[in-house]
Structure 1
Amino acid sequence: MFRQAKGKTPRRPPPKKPSNNQKDPVGVYCRVRPLGAEDVECCIEVISNTTIQLHAPDGLKANRNGEFKETQYSFKKVFGIKTTQGELFEDVAKPLVEDIIHCKNGLLFTYGVTGSGKTYTMTGSPGQGGLLPRSLDMIFNSIGPYQAKRYVFKPDDKNGMEVQNQVDALLDRQKRDSQTTVPKTPTTRRIDPEFADMISPVEACKADGVDEDSSYSVFVSYIEIYNNYIYDLLEETPIDPIKPKWNGAGTPLRNNTEFIPPQSKILREDQNHNMYVAGCTEVEVKSTEEAFEVFWRGQKKRRIANTQLNRESSRSHSVFIIKLAQAPLDADGDNVLQDKNQVNVSQLCLVDLAGSERTSRTRAEGSRLREAGNINQSLMTLRTCIEVLRENQMCGTNKMVPYRDSKVTHLFKNYFDGEGKVRMVVCVNPKADDYEETLLVMRFAEMTQEVEVARPIDRPICGFAAGRRQRNQAFKEELTRRLEERGGPVDGESPTVLNQLLQSFPPLPPCEISGPNDDVTLPRLIEALEKRHKIRHMMIEEYNKTAKMLKSVLQEQDSNLLSKENFIQEQRGKLGEKEKMIQNQKNEIDRLEKKSRMLEYKIDILQKTTNIYEEDKRSLQQELESREHRLQREMSEKRRMETRMQGIVTDSKLKWEKECERRVNAKQLEMQNKLWVKDEKLKQLKAIVTEGKTENRQPQRPSREKDKVPAKRSASPSPVPTGPPVRPLHRRSHSAGGERWVDHKPTTNVDLDTVLQPNIPNAITVNAPNEKALSKCDKYVLTHQEVASDGEIQTKLIKGEVFKTRGGGQAVQFTDIETLKQENPVAASRKRRSSETGPDGEPMEGDWTDVETRCSVALEMRAGSNLGPGYQHHGYPKRRKP
């Protein structure tokens, strides 16, 4: 055997329930509420008693083909706007009430959008009782004569019932009567006008087949699920009159007269693996009026609020649980059988779900937004559970149903597992504004109808002979009738003459005869018989005398009775008149009481409405003040931003003025540098021309010398060094294997499409310089393009040497700049011709000018013939496309 671990209680295996393969689908009914106004657009049409049709509003009902979009949905039954509360109860809730009387559970809940009439369907109004009051009335009409005395059945706080004997029940009743001052009879209780005259006597109904050999008792409890927490609406929190109570805001309550908010309850599982609310108050009620009073006491504590869509919107899911305890009578038919295993407890749960809503329409904020989120989340969990159940049944899967994600689904998971019937009333508002929410509700209802729930099995009843209560009652009635006929028991105060004669009646002697000649026994027997005969005659005479005397007495009494009867008749006439007067006064009193109750009810409603308006007024005032503060802050922020922007504009204006002035100065200096370079070229050419023609025409790198600009004449930043290049200390020899170049060509360069391009052998081409490439090379060249003053694109090759720094990095020392330019020969010839004419329009001397042109071309050709990097043969390039 295995040893059990200490401190752990083994889980009790679930009881074996009788298997039942019969299943019934969830009954889904639809009720359409009337429109609030005649000019409101309607989107729902009742086609038949089982089908409705949804019409999309004007803004949504055109599809791709331009047709109107219409959708039909089918239900078990559809109730139109003219359906009464009694008709709805007859088809929806009456079968569930009959099941609870026959020991079967039931679940009925209303579902729909906010303002669709769920609370009215469940509760009703004075004169139009809903499903809840009619269910209670039917239960008490059915089991009224067979109810047990109070406290015979007692909850065991574990979702079960215990049976007490008559003595313990009597002690509990006496204890209750000593602690409370409420009148015992429920007819003298003050009933709230919310439930006054909700059901007319004509509409009262009762169930058939009630077991008359059983005793019944009804227990009710009322809870609400608010923000996914369970609260007991019937719980009365005691108040300590000495120690002050504090609310959530940290301030003491007023005069210690307000109740502390109730604590949330938890869900537990009983021994039969059924879910129940631990510590929930269960009140035993004996009449419909008493049950109404308990319901209204909890209804006053329910959380409601005023929203944009509903003035009294339910902010929580309410669950009203009706438990019916049933136990058989003993063999004599007098008392309840003292056996807990024979007690059957069935319950009917009436659930008023809070309506789903969109925060964009209700404009909920703060706590209302949180409430709406929790309501929508719980309804979404219910929808998910229904979807998983439907998928498991239709596809044969075995997915886990997420009952525990919400308190609503976790509490009623047993019903979907086969513990009773499930019914749902879908309430819809035909208003076109609720079309999108109504469409989602219809889809959920259509999916719910496809879920099947196991049919509940009849529970066994104790096997005593039937009719025990009737036989016992018949025996009592017969005994009473006989006692009335005999005039009651005979008093034995003084012995009468008849009693004395009966006592002196001689006994008979022994009648044993010894023979035919027995002279002893026969004379004795004859003597005894003669004495008995004399006594009999005396008794007859005494009887006659008594009869005559009694007759005379009766005659006198008859005369007296006649007079008395006449007097009684007169008194009865007067009494009838008094009773009529009293009845009229009672009717007047009842009318005035009813009127006063209705006025009190209206006063309560007006008080609630006043409180709601005052709360809305305070909230609007606070919102107005906050918005005024916000507006003042925004105005101050706006003025500050305007001041700041004015300062920024002024600074930017001064900055750009300085920048423009700097650029103008830089451009002037650049143009002066270009003029100086051109003057230097002209001086060199003049020197060449004046020296004469020599055999050696090799220029000394004019393309390099002409681009070297002294640092003192440069205004803009230039990569040309102003002093002699600094040679690195350790330089690789050119004879060691050739020089390696880093060819830096930006991606923004334009291909000039010339015959010869700069070609650097054994080079690493990069788009951006990096340390890895520089560490492998000795030379560095940067290809830079810019637009020249004549509008042509010129390319500059900025060359330098790479050497290592003392810090371990790489550095580049720029040593030379070469300029490559693409020119149009036609434009160049025009320029030369224009330059040959003087200021007065006559041509100038062309000897040195022609030589200058030829020399410049020779110099460029000479430079292009070199094999160094960056040199290019200009020749006659292609015409660049504009």
Structure 2
Amino acid sequence: MSRPTRAKNTRKPPPKKPSNNQKDPVGVYCRVRPLSTEDGECCIEVISSSTIQLHAPDGLKANRNGEFKETQYSFKKVFGIKTSQIELFEDVAKPLVDDLIHCKNGLLFTYGVTGSGKTFTMTGSPGQGGLLPRSLDMIFNSIGPYQAKRFVFKTDDKNGMEVQSQVDALLDRQKRESQQSVPKTPSSRQRLDPEFADMINPQESCRAEGVDEDSSYSVFVSYIEIYNNYIYDLLEETPIDPIKTKPPQSKILREDQNHNMYVAGCTEVEVKSTEEAFEVFWRGQKKRRIANTQLNRESSRSHSVFIIKLAQAPLDADGDNILQDKDQVNVSQLCLVDLAGSERTNRTQAQGSRLREAGNINQSLMTLRTCIEVLRENQMCGTNKMVPYRDSKVTHLFKNYFDGEGKVRMVVCVNPKADDYEETMLVMRFAEMTQEVEVARPEDRPICGFTAGRRQRNQALKEELSRQLEERGGPINGDQPSIITQLLHSFPPLPSCELVDATDDQTLPRIIQVLEKRYSIRKMMAEEFNKAANKLKAMLQEFDGSLVSKESVIYEQRGKLGQKDNVILSQKVEIDRLEKKSKMLECKIDILQKTTNIYEVDKRSLQQELESKQLKLQRELSDKRRMEARLQGMVSDTKLKWEKECERRVTAKQLEMQNKLWVKDEKLKQLKAIVTESKSECPEREKPQRPSRQKERAALKRSASPSPVPTGLPVRPPHRRSRSAGGEKWVDHRPSSGLELDTLMQPNIPNAIMVSSPSENALSKCDKYVLTHQELASDGEIQTKLIKGEVFKTRSGGQAVQFTDIEMLRQECPIVPSRKRRSSESGPSQEDGYVDRDVENRYSLAMEMRIGSSGGAELPQHELQKRRKPSDR
């Protein structure tokens, strides 16, 4: 069967960005918080507008023996304790807001130790608005006259914007108003909290220059927090349940079709004024998680992100309506991030949930530092390491900004008190490293190809028409009403048409009189309307003629401008060509210079490597000579050793063979003596006399005494108890071919490792070894031998076994007589073959005795009594 084919990924590839070699470093600013009276000693000194000096407090110097020294750190700009909020905004956030209005993204975040003034820098206080309210005020001051009506721009829930018609927008607005009885975003200052009613003085308001007047704008805001590495929507409206409160649901991050990260399902509120936008922010700020710690009375326990999206779409060619083309909609966003402060638990004494919050905050900040370090290493060393954006939600959400989707600015807030010296020093090192990271400069986004000034031309046309109407027919929207309006107001109302009596002769004449008057006024209005229409037609004809003449002049001027533009374009092309050529030559020179430097470095390194290898070769040759001499000595010693060992083994083998030949000769002599005696006694048919007990013992001793030195392993005395019952660690080797005898007495070794074949792993764990061996005895029964030995390590690191003892286990059946008992149990009735049985019994007895004497084991006394013939007893 063929395997099913998987569907191809239909995901769109990322759009090709125009090549831009221009990069800007991350702008890092430093703001010093004023030192309160209770903080005591100061450890920061502002030297210049871009440099601060950090010196250790006296107590820390004494404890660390002068390890900490005075250190200077440089920033793009340093703001001292007397810096106002408006000065900070103009230098840091105003360029980002200007880029936002011109379709460019921006990221601004505050960083520092807890209690260093990050929230005040971002939010501010009444009369001293921070970066966030001033950014909103600048946006609405710039695009206020050019805002589209509510719901004309609509989010598509995929990090994009759509444009819908005025009718659809009106229907959505009516639907929204019907769904909620109370609006969520009031647009008046009376609905704001009195504390935050006036964040910005009117004298400090500012606006952006170069706003495109031929476009319509709309602002959307969203507010999220990252708490314990989970994302929560602070603007989400949850239904109130008086019985059981529902906890907020965390959100997830997703990629849009342009591979930009966004929070899926996040609430985006369309706002139309600064007050309305700040009211939305303050509504989410009330839900943000803050807590009282030993270092800060209102410490932020989460990272907050306030996102401002600006949707911009061009007007049509007439300048009246917005183009309903999604491709022409530009969406730019500005992210204002208030990072939670890093803190040490030994200072805050945090426990429980506060300890967990502090751990997650420090972990996310550490991930941000790691990402900055990897980016810096990739840019400075030319490496291509993967930046760990996904290790934290903060870095994963803003990874597009570090990849070239907008400008990045950071405000480092520091507290000059001596207790925060060590944490402040770490913050300074991170800020100094961040300044070395460069971000690609965003490209200018293309706008619609219509001519500029469409809105102004429409406004000028309306003013000109109204002026000419005022000159010819009176003001249309002036203070004095026109003739048609006067006639309309002089219309007499209709009297009552009810006839009460048949003799009523006043009602009908009154109605006829009023109708005639109304008819005459209608005729006058029609005449005046025709006159005004004729005047308007004549005026329009004259206006068309003037427009034609003006257009002809404009066409001539455009032709001249076109020629000038062509000349300028050709000159620009030539300039670009020359610039490219000069850049190419500069690049070639740089490449050649770098290549030369690389070759010189390689040459020096190769020379050093050659010298080191020559020295190494000489050392190896000398070591080889010494090793050869040592090995020759070892070979000669080993040769002599093995020659002696061979001689010893040959001598031992010769002795063993002689002993075996001697044993066989003795067995043959005894067998010959027994056969000869049996033959001499057989003809007489006499009953053999039983020898005396002393003679039998003497014969047994004579047969067993001349035994050679045993060559096998020594056998322990039979009365000794087996060592297998001890506490040693044994390897119990039982081959798989063994038979189960089902006997009561079984060899049982505690603490033993059962194996079917010996292995080095099992031997390395034990110090004793036993092998169970089964063989067929001479009487047809199964005999079991336990061959025991000791395990020791060899010099090469292996394991070896030295056999030391043999135990024999044997099984006999008492019911079935063996061949050794048949002669005694048959009685004197079986006289035929008596000599043969007697010879057989005596031969087996002699053999067993010989084996027992040679092997070191003797038969017990009761076994000897059983094996004797009845005639010998």
Task: Note whether the superposition's TM-score is higher than 0.5.
Answer: yes
Q: Is the 8 A contact 1:42 1:431 kept in 2?
A: yes
> Cα deviations across residues 449-508 of structure 1 (Å, max 9, x unaligned)?
0000000111111111111111111222233334444235654836689989x99xxxxx
Q: How far is the alpha carbon of 1:67 from its aligned partner?
A: 7.9
Per the alignment, residue 192 of structure 2 pairs with: 191
Is 1:454 the counterpart of 2:482? The answer is no
Q: Distance in 1 between matches of 2:47 and 2:269?
A: 45
Q: How far is the alpha carbon of 1:59 from its aligned partner?
A: 3.4
Per the alignment, residue 130 of structure 1 pairs with: 130
Is 1:355 the counterpart of 2:341? The answer is yes
Per the alignment, residue 168 of structure 2 pairs with: 168
Which of 348, 359, 365 aligns to 1:373? It is 359
Is 1:228 the counterpart of 2:229? The answer is yes
Is 1:106 the counterpart of 2:106? The answer is yes
Over 3 Å counting, the alpha-carbon distance change for 1:807 and 1:71 in structure 2 is farther
Secondary structure at the aligned position of 1:220 is classed as strand
Q: Distance in 2 between matches of 1:222 and 1:17?
A: 29
Is 1:157 the counterpart of 2:157? The answer is yes
Q: How far is the alpha carbon of 1:213 from its aligned partner?
A: 0.7
Which of 427, 441, 448 aligns to 2:427? It is 441
Q: How far is the alpha carbon of 1:181 from its aligned partner?
A: 3.8
Q: How far is the alpha carbon of 1:175 from its aligned partner?
A: 2.0
Q: Distance in 2 between matches of 1:39 and 1:278?
A: 44
Secondary structure at the aligned position of 1:167 is classed as helix
Per the alignment, residue 148 of structure 1 pairs with: 148
Q: Distance in 2 between matches of 1:397 and 1:113?
A: 32
Q: How far is the alpha carbon of 1:127 from its aligned partner?
A: 1.0
> Cα deviations across residues 704-735 of structure 1 (Å, max 9, x unaligned)?
xxxxxxxxxxxxxxxxxxxxxxxxxx999997
Over 3 Å counting, the alpha-carbon distance change for 1:331 and 1:309 in structure 2 is same
Per the alignment, residue 870 of structure 1 pairs with: none
Per the alignment, residue 93 of structure 2 pairs with: 93
Q: Distance in 1 between matches of 2:441 and 2:412?
A: 22
> Cα deviations across residues 142-184 of structure 1 (Å, max 9, x unaligned)?
0001100000000000100000111111111222233334479
Over 3 Å counting, the alpha-carbon distance change for 1:39 and 1:263 in structure 2 is closer
Q: How far is the alpha carbon of 1:259 from its aligned partner?
A: 4.8
State the one-letter code of the partner of 2:220.
F
Q: How far is the alpha carbon of 1:390 from its aligned partner?
A: 0.3
Secondary structure at the aligned position of 2:154 is classed as strand
Q: Is the 8 A contact 1:136 1:288 kept in 2?
A: yes
Which of 318, 324, 343 aligns to 2:310? It is 324
Per the alignment, residue 393 of structure 1 pairs with: 379
Per the alignment, residue 613 of structure 1 pairs with: none
> Cα deviations across residues 262-287 of structure 1 (Å, max 9, x unaligned)?
21111110111100001110000000
Q: Which stretches in structure 2 are left out of the alignment for 5+ residues?
A: 477-481, 485-519, 532-703, 715-766, 770-786, 791-802, 810-873
Scaled by the length of structure 1, the TM-score of the pair is 0.54
Secondary structure at the aligned position of 1:91 is classed as helix
> What aligned pairs does 1:9-24 form with structure 2 within 5 A after superposition?
9-24=9-24
Over 3 Å counting, the alpha-carbon distance change for 1:377 and 1:805 in structure 2 is same
Q: Distance in 2 between matches of 1:279 and 1:157?
A: 7
Per the alignment, residue 46 of structure 1 pairs with: 46
Over 3 Å counting, the alpha-carbon distance change for 1:499 and 1:25 in structure 2 is closer
Over 3 Å counting, the alpha-carbon distance change for 1:365 and 1:481 in structure 2 is same
Q: Distance in 1 between matches of 2:523 and 2:416?
A: 91
State the one-letter code of the partner of 1:238.
P
Secondary structure at the aligned position of 1:87 is classed as helix
Over 3 Å counting, the alpha-carbon distance change for 1:323 and 1:732 in structure 2 is farther
> What aligned pairs does 1:693-732 form with structure 2 within 5 A after superposition?
none
Per the alignment, residue 208 of structure 1 pairs with: 209
Q: Distance in 2 between matches of 1:64 and 1:182?
A: 63
Over 3 Å counting, the alpha-carbon distance change for 1:731 and 1:178 in structure 2 is farther
Per the alignment, residue 753 of structure 1 pairs with: none
Q: Is the 8 A contact 1:55 1:61 kept in 2?
A: no
Q: Distance in 1 between matches of 2:17 and 2:175?
A: 40
Per the alignment, residue 475 of structure 1 pairs with: 461
Q: Is the 8 A contact 1:237 1:259 kept in 2?
A: no
Which of 308, 317, 341 aligns to 2:327? It is 341
Over 3 Å counting, the alpha-carbon distance change for 1:732 and 1:441 in structure 2 is farther
Secondary structure at the aligned position of 2:143 is classed as helix
Q: Is the 8 A contact 1:62 1:69 kept in 2?
A: no
Per the alignment, residue 633 of structure 2 pairs with: none
Q: Is the 8 A contact 1:126 1:193 kept in 2?
A: no
Secondary structure at the aligned position of 2:369 is classed as helix
Over 3 Å counting, the alpha-carbon distance change for 1:4 and 1:381 in structure 2 is farther
- Larger deviation, residues 483-492 vs 77-86: 483-492
Q: Distance in 1 between matches of 2:261 and 2:527?
A: 74
Secondary structure at the aligned position of 1:61 is classed as helix
Q: How far is the alpha carbon of 1:806 from its aligned partner?
A: 6.3
Is 1:37 the counterpart of 2:37? The answer is yes
Over 3 Å counting, the alpha-carbon distance change for 1:14 and 1:739 in structure 2 is closer
Per the alignment, residue 272 of structure 1 pairs with: 258
Per the alignment, residue 521 of structure 2 pairs with: 493
Q: Is the 8 A contact 2:93 2:135 kept in 1?
A: yes
Q: Is the 8 A contact 1:276 1:411 kept in 2?
A: yes
Q: Distance in 2 between matches of 1:76 and 1:4?
A: 59
Q: Distance in 2 between matches of 1:189 and 1:175?
A: 26
Secondary structure at the aligned position of 1:21 is classed as coil
Per the alignment, residue 300 of structure 1 pairs with: 286
> Cα deviations across residues 528-553 of structure 1 (Å, max 9, x unaligned)?
xxxxxxxxxxxxxxxxxxxxxxxxxx
Per the alignment, residue 60 of structure 1 pairs with: 60
Q: Distance in 1 between matches of 2:707 and 2:103?
A: 110
Secondary structure at the aligned position of 2:54 is classed as strand
Q: Distance in 1 between matches of 2:263 and 2:405?
A: 17
Q: Distance in 2 between matches of 1:137 and 1:75?
A: 28
Q: Is the 8 A contact 1:222 1:232 kept in 2?
A: yes
Q: Is the 8 A contact 2:189 2:275 kept in 1?
A: no
Secondary structure at the aligned position of 1:59 is classed as helix
Over 3 Å counting, the alpha-carbon distance change for 1:481 and 1:376 in structure 2 is same
Q: How far is the alpha carbon of 1:61 from its aligned partner?
A: 2.7
Over 3 Å counting, the alpha-carbon distance change for 1:736 and 1:445 in structure 2 is same
Q: How far is the alpha carbon of 1:193 from its aligned partner?
A: 2.9
Q: Is the 8 A contact 1:26 1:424 kept in 2?
A: yes
State the one-letter code of the partner of 1:204.
S
> Cα deviations across residues 315-374 of structure 1 (Å, max 9, x unaligned)?
110000000000111111111111111100000000001111111111111111111111
Secondary structure at the aligned position of 1:493 is classed as helix
Scaled by the length of structure 2, the TM-score of the pair is 0.55
> Cα deviations across residues 291-328 of structure 1 (Å, max 9, x unaligned)?
01100111111111111111111111000000000011
Q: How far is the alpha carbon of 1:9 from its aligned partner?
A: 3.7
Over 3 Å counting, the alpha-carbon distance change for 1:5 and 1:263 in structure 2 is farther
State the one-letter code of the partner of 2:247.
P
Over 3 Å counting, the alpha-carbon distance change for 1:166 and 1:69 in structure 2 is same
How many pairs were matched up? 513
Q: Is the 8 A contact 2:107 2:336 kept in 1?
A: yes
State the one-letter code of the partner of 2:164.
Q
Per the alignment, residue 289 of structure 1 pairs with: 275
State the one-letter code of the partner of 1:191.
L
> Cα deviations across residues 411-432 of structure 1 (Å, max 9, x unaligned)?
0000000000000000111111
Per the alignment, residue 314 of structure 1 pairs with: 300
> Cα deviations across residues 361-415 of structure 1 (Å, max 9, x unaligned)?
1111111111111111111111000000000000000000010111100000000
> Cα deviations across residues 644-688 of structure 1 (Å, max 9, x unaligned)?
xxxxxxxxxxxxxxxxxxxxxxxxxxxxxxxxxxxxxxxxxxxxx
Over 3 Å counting, the alpha-carbon distance change for 1:737 and 1:460 in structure 2 is closer
Over 3 Å counting, the alpha-carbon distance change for 1:499 and 1:108 in structure 2 is closer
State the one-letter code of the partner of 1:153.
F
> Cα deviations across residues 727-779 of structure 1 (Å, max 9, x unaligned)?
xxx99999769999xxxxxxxxxxxxxxxxxxxxxxxxxxxxx879x9899xx
Over 3 Å counting, the alpha-carbon distance change for 1:54 and 1:4 in structure 2 is farther
Q: How far is the alpha carbon of 1:60 from its aligned partner?
A: 3.0
